Structure 1
Amino acid sequence: MTGRLPTTVIATALLRRVNDSGGSGMVLAKGTQDGSMLVVAIDRGGSPKLLERGFGEGGRAILIDSTPTEDLDGYWRRRRARDPDLWVIEVDIAGAERFAAEVMLDD
């Protein structure tokens, strides 16, 4: 067993923090309890970024910008078709990437 929280808990925490801070958040696709998670981060109506948790040097958790050059919606839908366990969460708030990092990288 790892010390990592289930994705359901991380998704709920992210949505709650964003909504409590005056932003909006929603689940675009619900995955399994321990599935991976993509976050569509919109900084108050700006261009969306697609973020996900990955690992950098020394195995340290980092936030990876996986934003495709075009058709972000189609990209995450294709990923979801290949991985039905995948969660897709959209957040729209000032500092969206910061909110995602604070919740997803808290190890």
Structure 2
Amino acid sequence: MAKATIYHNPRCGKSRNTLKILEEKNVENNVVEYLKTPPTFGELKSVVKKLKIKPEELLRKGESVFKENYKGKSLSDDEWIRAMVDNPILIERPIVIVGDKAVIGRPPENVLEII
């Protein structure tokens, strides 16, 4: 089995539960605490492509940064990616990537689709 990469926030219960599933299934993983080590523009663009979603669908719209700076705005895909790179708190979590597939761990059991 391929190694999994998880974009993880240890303060998030869903993220912790997703990581726990990976560990219980003995999946070797690379944990990226994306708030400490934000993805680059290219990395995030690749993640969005693997998720097969629009960048705007990866936004945490309940965050104050979103409400204060982006709510109601119509940005291009690249502009949304740039907003998340500049403000990683806006990135939905957790994201698990295995090879060329990715899922958002909401609910955490979504990870079972790709491992």
TM-score, scaled relative to structure 2 = 0.33
Report which of the two has the higher share of helix.
Answer: 2
Which of the two has higher C-alpha Rg?
2
